[in-house]
Amino acid sequence: MSERRPYIRPQPRAWWAHPPYRAYTIRELCGVALAVYAAILLAGLVCLARGPQAFESYRAFLASPLSLAIHLGLLATTLWHMVTWFRILPKTMPKLVWRGRLVPQALMTNVATLVAVVCSVGLLAMVVVVGARL
């Protein structure tokens, strides 16, 4: 009798390193880079709990050129995370109908990205204004 032998398309092991999957891999790893930033904040919390002396060495690290380079790298990955996050958003949420018409995905992405820019710039402005008044 015949045996069931389905065709299984071969998949190279490093499929994620080549287009079109490379964009997916980069997007996901940019999300993972956020954990590095969380770890830096956590290290600050550990130093804070250990006392003023430990916290001073943490501040010295933050003021170093290495830390500046790390944070600029993190800033770039987080901006890419922001851009891609709102590209995914319309694909993961229910369809939005406004006045009997389907809201285009590109419009949702653009509006959400604009909201994010306003949020980040607003937070920056708030910190600078509060700092100037103190």
Binding residues for another protein, rule: CB under 8 A, are 13, 16, 25, 28-29, 31-35, 37-38, 40-42, 44-46, 48-49, 52, 55-56, 59, 62-63, 67-68, 70-72, 74-75, 78-79, 81-82, 85-86, 115-116, 119-121, 123-124, 127-128, 131, 134
Candidates 36, 34, 108; CA nearest to 67 is 36
- Min. distance of Cβ 70 from another protein in angstroms? 8
Q: Which two tokens stand for residue 51?
A: 């006392």
| 35 Ramachandran zone, left/alpha/beta (phi>0; psi -120 to 50) | alpha
Q: Which is nearer to another protein, 1 or 134 (CB)?
A: 134
Q: Which is nearer to another protein, 1 or 66 (CB)?
A: 66
- Min. distance of Cβ 22 from another protein in angstroms? 12
Candidates 62, 66, 72, 56; CA nearest to 40 is 62
Q: Which is nearer to another protein, 4 or 19 (CB)?
A: 19
- Min. distance of Cβ 109 from another protein in angstroms? 12
In whole angstroms, give the CA distance from residue 101 to residue 104: 9
In whole angstroms, give the CA distance from residue 89 to residue 109: 7
